[in-house]
């Protein structure tokens, strides 16, 4: 079985956190897991959101709230 939509966003990006997902999958006979993440949580992708965050106050507030970096 495959779980093709797994997010790590509720924990830290470390081997121990990933191991928890692996153990969970193994216990349920899942033999493949695909990790996916939203780009807005990585500073490397912040330029993708420059135009959107300037569109209006709502969009800017959403981005600032959801971006895991202080004061974009």
Q: What confidence category does residue 72 fall into, taking pLDDT thresholds of 50, 70 and 90?
A: very low
- In a shared domain, residues 42 and 32: no
Give residues with Cβ within 8 angstroms of 48, minimum separation 6: 39
The rounded distance, in Å, linking the Cα atoms of 20 and 22 is 5
Q: Do 2 and 29 lie in a common domain?
A: yes
Instruction: Examine the domain organization and report whether 28 and 13 are in the same domain.
Output: yes
Cβ atoms within 10 Å of 4's Cβ, excluding its own: 9
Span 3-53, pLDDT tens digits:
888 888 777 888 999 999 999 999 999 999 998 888 887 888 888 888 888
Instruction: Report yes or no on whether pTM surpasses 0.75.
Output: no
Q: Total domain count for the chain?
A: 2
Same domain, 28 and 45: no
> Are residue 28 and residue 42 in the same domain, yes or no?
no
Q: Residue 11: give the domain boundaries.
A: 1-36
């Amino acid at each position: 079985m495959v779980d093709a939509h797994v997010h790590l966003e509720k924990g830290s990006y470390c081997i121990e956190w990933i191991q928890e997902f692996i153990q969970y999958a193994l216990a349920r006979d899942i033999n493949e897991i695909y990790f996916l993440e939203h780009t807005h949580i990585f500073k490397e992708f912040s330029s993708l959101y420059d135009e959107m965050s300037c569109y209006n106050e709502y969009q800017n507030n959403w981005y600032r709230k959801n971006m895991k970096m202080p004061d974009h």
